[in-house]
Structure 1
Amino acid sequence: MLIRTLLACLFSWAAWPVAAQSFPDRPIRVIVPVSPGGGTDIFARKLVELIGASLGQPIIVENRAGASGTIGTQAVLDSRPDGHTLGFVWNTPITAAPHTLGARYRMDSYTPVMRVGYSPFAICARPDFPASNLQEMVARIRANPGQYTWGNEGMGGVMHLGVERVWRRLGLELTAVPFQGAGQTLPAFLGGHITFYGGSLTGAVPALRAGTAKCLMLTTADGSPEAPGSQGLAALGLTDMAITIWWGLIAPSGVPADRLERLTAAFTEAARHPDFATLMQQQAAVLNIETGEAFARSIRAEYEALGTVARQLNLLR
């Protein structure tokens, strides 16, 4: 009996490395919970391109937009926790939607894998809008209450909460118009359907470079060289209200640690590739990699802060 037990253990130990090395054993899906074309989609596809065949299986990017990212995020979390389905998200479906949009998931429903970086949110006007700086924009809106509209990445999202807080502090009245990411907001803005583009500075870059937009307000404390003429919230004395959009990778809760480790290593290596750093710079984003528990702590802090804002705005669901 003892010999049989020892043999069983030996076979088990011998087989373990093979089993561990067999992951992934089929294509990996990366669900992007937003329409194609915006910064979230662009960054996800570049990471997948840079990873290439290093994991031994194809990686398929699947866009699943809707409900401010909660539909695609829920699809990630409903999948088997085996490491073959991941989500590349921005912060709204993670830190805002559970408070404001009735999302069924909470922080313990997923495992943070890595953050790649962040960018300011931006409020941009068309070139002929009668304001050349942030102070003039505020004065114009104040003189015309209720006449202007601003697009955003979804009601109850990170940008909506953050910017509404600014509007209220300044006593401004604008109508919020929700979209499903910059890929939808920017065309609506360029088509004249809304007064102001509201979304990541990354999403506004094509219009800035084409000269079809001017970004007057950023939600960081300071402006950005990528948006000439922009000013941050410090110009209004509102540095304490600064907030950014960030992008990162999540997995369903329960993925085995060895699989998470392999995925984290592959995606981190891709994010550190010079081509990815160049892309982020081109898209007016800041490369800032954070993994594991450090990433989880950042999420937790923002989740709690936005919960407070949602309560103050009577948006809790």
Structure 2
Amino acid sequence: MRALQKLLTIIYAAALSSSLPSFASTDYPNRPIKLIVPVAAGGGTDFTARLLAERLSAALAQPVVVENRPGASGNLGVQQVATATPDGYTLVMPITSFPINPNLQKLPFDTVKDFSPVILVGTLPLVLVTHPGVPARNVGELITLAKNSKQPLNYANSGNGTTAHLAGELFNRMSGIKMVSINYKGGGPAVTDLLGGHVQVYFSTIPPVQQHIESGKLSALAVTGTERSTELPQVPTVAESGLPGFDVTAWFGLFAPAGTPLAAIKRLNTELVKILAMPDVQQKMTNHGVQPAGGTPDALGAYLVRDIDKWGKVIREAGIRAE
């Protein structure tokens, strides 16, 4: 796996340093930019994309137009960008399954070779929540309960192969337990059944369950990132709760077609770094459960390669198959 990761990183470096269409950086952009969002309007992905598009339009003095292209688990819109002219005028912000899908599906594009990374937009930690009827108030107690229970615990997920699903399987593998996964078509039905006590555990993004945590209808045991969440600062991480190294963080990144001129990538990255550092932008993203990120294009490329490798291992070990 390390050899594969090294090879993919080399591919990224080669793509970014190869002979690309040239133009003076001062010429870009001179017309509107299209930002493809591969989900329907509404929701965290769409909100984040529109927030960045608004600020980027002002910074570039050119319209950045968001176009929603839902379908095929987010792959329809992504494919459109993979085959677009690599001139800096077509971008995509894939959904959080972007690094997972290559391990589950035969895709009409190459997730690594067909895109030029621009910037890591933001990260989305999950929170491990349980129904209050589950007699466990921390990760250690949950693991002990699962090991000693005559009937296996079950956990909801928001769809086969989603981050919520893989979080549960990684938790199983690292803790030595075997909770049973119950598939739902989206996070809404999963939360509804968790509130009703029909399932016991769920790895959720924070906004859909925060009010239920605050009201006591759900118990928050831990967050899944490497640091505590600003939205739930009193809740420890899974890693500090007894499973060191546990890290499940969904993310949004901005990509262009492979071969996009470096001058365009650099201009976009420079402006977006500034935008993501704006206090009001950070507050608005945080309110939607997204922790603003930033960094270089190379950093996003490495992030993608790492997660493809990481989730591929979890998927193979858990025997997960595309539905």
TM-score > 0.5 by shorter chain:
yes
CA distance in 2, matches of 1:36, 1:151: 23
1:253 to 258, 261, 265: 258
**1:145-180 deviation per Cα after TM superposition (whole angstroms, max 9, x unaligned):** 46644123x42244432321212443233233254x
**Which deviates more from structure 2 when the two are superposed, residues 127-136 or residues 295-304?**
127-136
Change (3 A) 1:251 1:221: closer
CA distance in 1, matches of 2:164, 2:151: 21
Residue-pair matches, total? 294
CA distance in 2, matches of 1:135, 1:37: 37
Q: How far did residue 249 of structure 1 move? A: 0.5
1:176 to 166, 174, 182: 182
1:189 to 185, 188, 191: 191
CA distance in 2, matches of 1:35, 1:131: 37
Change (3 A) 1:285 1:270: same
Change (3 A) 1:83 1:185: same
Report the AA paired with residue 74 of structure 2: G
**1:41-88 deviation per Cα after TM superposition (whole angstroms, max 9, x unaligned):** 332222122224333332222333444433332232233322222111
Partner of 1:164, secondary structure, is helix
Change (3 A) 1:228 1:176: farther
Change (3 A) 1:222 1:110: closer
Q: How far did residue 291 of structure 1 move? A: 1.8
Query: How much is the aligned-residue C-alpha RMSD, in angstroms?
Result: 3.3
Bigger radius of gyration: 1
CA contact (8 A) 1:205 1:283 kept: no
CA distance in 1, matches of 2:216, 2:41: 23
1:162 to 163, 167, 170: 167
Match of 1:25 in 2: 31
Match of 2:17 in 1: none
Change (3 A) 1:238 1:282: same
Change (3 A) 1:291 1:222: closer
Q: How far did residue 96 of structure 1 move? A: 1.6
Change (3 A) 1:221 1:25: closer
Change (3 A) 1:125 1:52: farther
Q: How far did residue 312 of structure 1 move? A: 2.1
**1:196-244 deviation per Cα after TM superposition (whole angstroms, max 9, x unaligned):** 5433335544554666544323223565452266342235532223221
Change (3 A) 1:145 1:71: farther
CA distance in 1, matches of 2:137, 2:274: 42
**1:88-121 deviation per Cα after TM superposition (whole angstroms, max 9, x unaligned):** 134421x221112222332111111001232322
Match of 2:275 in 1: 270
Counting aligned pairs with the same residue, the percent is 28
Matches within 5 A, 1:21-60: 21=27, 23-26=29-32, 28-60=33-65
CA distance in 2, matches of 1:197, 1:265: 38
Report the AA paired with residue 167 of structure 1: N
Change (3 A) 1:233 1:147: closer
Report the AA paired with residue 27 of structure 2: Q
CA contact (8 A) 1:68 1:155 kept: no
TM-score (norm 2): 0.75
Matches within 5 A, 1:126-275: 126=131, 131-138=136-143, 143=149, 145=151, 148-152=154-158, 154-168=159-173, 169-179=175-185, 184-186=186-188, 188-190=190-192, 195=199, 196-202=201-207, 204-205=209-210, 207-208=212-213, 213-221=218-226, 223-224=228-229, 226-227=231-232, 230-234=235-239, 237-275=242-280
List alignment gaps of at least 5 residues for structure 1. Answer: 1-15
